[in-house]
Structure formats: C-alpha cells, structure tokens
Amino acid sequence: MEPQLSSFLTNISLPHLPNILALLVLLPILLTPIIHFLIINKRSSSSSSSPSSSSLLLPPSPPSLPIIGHLHLLSLPLHHSLSRLSSLHNNSPLLLLRLGSRLALLISSASAAEQCFTKHDLTFANRPTLPSSQRLSYNFTTLVAAPYGPHWRNLRRIATAELFSSSCLNYFSHVISEEVAFLIKQLSGGSGFRKVEVREKLDELALNVVMRMMVGRRCDEEEGRRFRWVVKEGFELVKESTVGDFLPFLRRVGNAGREKRMVRLEKEADELFEKTVEEMRRRRSRGEEGEERTIVGRLLDLQEEDREYYTDEIIKGVILTMIAAGTDTTVETLEWAMSLLLNHPRSLQKVRSEIELLVGHDRRLIQVSDLCNLPYLLSILKETLRLYPVAPLLLPHESSQDCSIAGFHVPRGTILFVNAYHIQRDPNMWEEPKSFKPERFMEGGAATGLGYKIMMMPFGMGRRSCPGEGLAMRLMGFALGAMIQCLEWRRLGEEEVDMEEGAGMTMPKAKPLEALCMPRGIIV
C-alpha cells in the first residue's frame, strides 16, 4: 500500500494554512482564485444538472469559506478532526467537503461505505491524481496509484495470482519463520530482563522479510538505513505536502524547500530500486539464482516475455509498493498490539496459555501453519487493527461518474474519503468501542456475524482493497505469537504504556514502545 496516497487530505500542509490565508488577502493573488473558483462551481453545477441527477440532493455540507472551502476546519491527526466534524453535524454518515477546488465526500458509517464498495465499487475504483503524489508513484503507474483501467487490472492480476497467491505465501513461509527466529534470538540475549526498543527490532524484521521475498537475501546495514530513510522521508513529505493539490494557484508559493527534498527523494529511491533490479539481473545472467523464487525474479521473467510493457519503471514501482506497504504498516500494528497486551496482562497470559496448549510439552517454537489453530491470537490482531487501523482514512478513491449514495447525489470527480477509524469505533455498531476486547472476535462473539465484515476495513474494501492482507496477517500473527511464546514481557514501571497516537500518514505511536523482556527457554 503506497503511503503517499493513504491520506489525500494530508496534502493540505495544515501547519502552513495561516500563512496561506494571509496571502489570500492580497488582491493580485485573490483575483485569480476567484475566477478559478467560479469556473469550478460552474462545472459542478453543470455536472449535477442532468435530468437524472437534478432531483437528488447533495450530501449535507458544513458552512465553508470562499476559495479554501473547508480546509480551515481540518487539523492533525486528520481522522480525529474529521470524526469531530461528523459529530458536530448530527453524526451524519456523509458530509460533502470542498477542499479548495476539489469536492470530497467524507463517509463515516459502515452502511454508506458498503454502498461505495459494493453497488458503486466500479464507480469509485479510481484514485485521485494529486500532483504531490506523482513523483512518488512513477507517474501514477504503481498498483496503488494507477487509475482504474487495463494497466491497473494487469498489475492487480499479477499481485493476486502470483505475488500474493496462496502458493506463493506458502513458499515464502520459511522466510517468515527464519526471520522471526532471528528476531527472537536478538531479543533473547542475556538471562534476565533487559530493556528493548521494540520498534527498532520490528523494523529489521519487516524489512528483511520483504527483501528476502523480493531478491532472496537480507539487507546489509547501509542498505537497510537507505530503505528506511526512503520510507520515512516519503511519509514526512506527504504529511507536509502543499495546499497546491487543492489550490493550484498556490502550488509554487513557499514550496521551494519541499520541492528540493522531493527531487532528492525521487532520485535516491530510484537509484536504490535500480540497484536492486540490476543486482538480480546480474545474478540471473551468471546463473546464481538457482531454484529460489523471488518477486523481482518473476517480474524479470515477465519482462523477457514483454519488454515493452514490463519496463524497469514497472518493476521498480512494485519494489516501492512492497517496501512502503510491507514495512511500516506491519511494524506499527505489532507495536500497538504489544502495547495493548502490556496494558492488559490477563489477555497476554490467555494467549500464552493458548499457544502452550497447542504446542504441548515439547517446547517447540510455533509455526506459521499453527496460526489457524490460535483463534485468540488472531483475535488480538483483529482487535488491534480495529482500534488502531494503520490507514485510518484508508486510501482515497475518486468517482468516475455521477452516482447516488444513501439517497444523495455524488458528482463525478468527487474524492472519496472513508473514516475507518470512526467506523471501527462507532458506539452504534460496537459494544464498548474504545475498550480492548479480543473476545468479541472469538467464535460466538459480538463481531463474528456476517454484519461485522462491513464494520472492519483495515485493509480497505472492494476491488482496490490491499492484496497483501494475507501476507501481513501471516507475518504479524507469527511474529506476535513467537514474541509471546518465547519471551516474558513487562512494562518499564507501574504506569501503563502510553497509547497516544502520533501525527502521520499512518497511525504511529507518539512514543515508541520500550519494554523489558527476558527469554523463557523455548527452543528456537
């Protein structure tokens, strides 16, 4: 999942909004946006005046300001400000927002989201092509950023049928097992409790799993540093990105520093990905690849079959997607899960007992194949994803034609924004929505009926949902289970772990998790 798209509203650069507003009082600048605003309004009215749509009402909309629309109502973290906005308007399931020159539909209910991704799934299969995302998506050609059409359908077919198919995931199970075993050995140093920064170790785990799947080897220290910098800098640039995505006439105002950083990031990332592709190409030419399957190797096979289509840019786009979507999101979920368990020791002991009951007295390390027999462990992951979805606003979609949602008219070209965080904590849908209760996902629990599937959407919904869900659940489930089975865990002190959310494109912890751990003598 490419992070630069996971929250299109992050492209507003909220900290700089007061300066932008000050600029708007200047007459020379003000004249241009007024004209632009009137043109947009004319287009919107004409698109809504067809006989089929004129009788339908637009969704409710808060009072807005000229030119900037509703930008002044937003603050970080965006999913919280949008939840408050919905609450202030009688918990409306839909709100129509004007973000500068663009219309956006905010969805805050499971039923409305279901309509968007079932009945109108094809209508909302597009992504908005925001200028700030172009450099970080190989000109909108990656699986996450590409507009709906033949190219996207081909990438999706490759992802589901080859890269993330059941047979492919089964093949790479040994990679997950070996890397998790390496993580446990790192955390098991010494005989007593010692303090560890959990995120740092999880970062290494996630990156090495992805690298071994892509090219068949682990990262060296310098390479790992560069990959992590690319992901972090990309996240930061999107978080700080310009209002120019929604106010085009201001695209070049105060943007020089960010543009330089974007150019540097694009260059650094492309060189890193190019080096990865060339390394794999050299190994193949020397016959060093052997029988080992790799993702980049398979893409090079496809390139040999059709060089015109499967360019190096397409292959590098897959690497970008794997690194961006397969590292930070996995790490953040595991960090939230461990934090929740440290604050709920009964749940920690309950899942450890479940694991010990399964493996018996031979003290063996659990296997990836054991996950289907560990329902409470998987329930902990589901409850973590409910409370702390890594993409709280999902990925943005865009309507390719006029449609009707919950009886309201939605014009073509409207950006769709689904507040999964709000939906997954909706008190009308969930009992004690803010409480950590994995039991709700156990057999017979409140969240096990057919209806709960539309209430849980951490990997998105519809045809553009994340194809890597199966890989993510395997890696997170096995890593969390092994950490619980092989190590004793304690908080640093009597106080509970701080659960404050950080501001960002995904949902990081404001304070990285530090904890005490000690080996339990399980054979690894």
pTM value? 0.89
Which stretches of the chain score pLDDT less than 50? 1-54
The number of C-alpha atoms within 13 Å of 88 and in the hemisphere containing its C-beta is: 11
Give the pLDDT confidence score for residue 22 in this predicted structure. 43
**Measured over all CA atoms, what is the biggest interatomic distance in the chain, rounded to whole angstroms?**
79
Going by the DSSP 8-state scheme, the letter that residue 449 receives in this structure is S
Closest by CA position to 477, among listed 347, 360, 355:
355
Residue 192 three-state SS: coil
Helix 256-285 to helix 198-215 angle (10° resolution) is 50
41-60: burial string, b at 16+ Cβ within 10 Å, e else: eeebeebbeeeebeeeebbe
Residues 6+ apart with CB under 8 A from 447: 382, 430, 440, 441, 455, 456
For 92-107, what is each residue's pLDDT tens digit?
A: 999 999 999 999 999 9
pLDDT at residue 464 in the model: 97
Residue 338 is encoded by which pair of tokens? Answer: 């461990």
d(CA 135, CA 151): 18
Kindly report the backbone phi and psi dihedral angles of residue 491, in degrees, each rounded to the nearest multiple of 5, phi listed first: -75, 165
Please report the pLDDT score of residue 35 as a whole number: 42
**What percentage of the chain reaches a pLDDT higher than 90?**
73
User: Is 2 within 8 Å of 324 (Cβ atoms)?
Assistant: yes
pLDDT at site 93: 96
Q: Are the C-beta atoms of residues 489 and 341 closer than 8 Å to each other?
A: yes
pLDDT for 34 equals 45
Burial of 21 (0-12, 13-18, 19+ CB in 10 A): middle
Annotated binding residues for heme, written as ranges, equal 466
Binding residues, as ranges, are 466
Helix residue ranges per DSSP H, 108-172: 110-117, 131-134, 150-158, 166-171
Residue 388 is given by DSSP the state S
Give me the pLDDT at residue 55, please.
58
Q: Which residues contact 500 (CB under 8 A, 6 or more apart)?
A: 509, 510, 511
Q: Which domains does the chain have, with CATH numbers?
A: 3-519 (1.10.630.10)
3-state class percentages of the chain: helix first, strand second, coil last, to nearest 5: 55, 10, 35
Q: Enter the tokens of residue 205.
A: 């785990």
Tokens describing residue 12: 């507003």
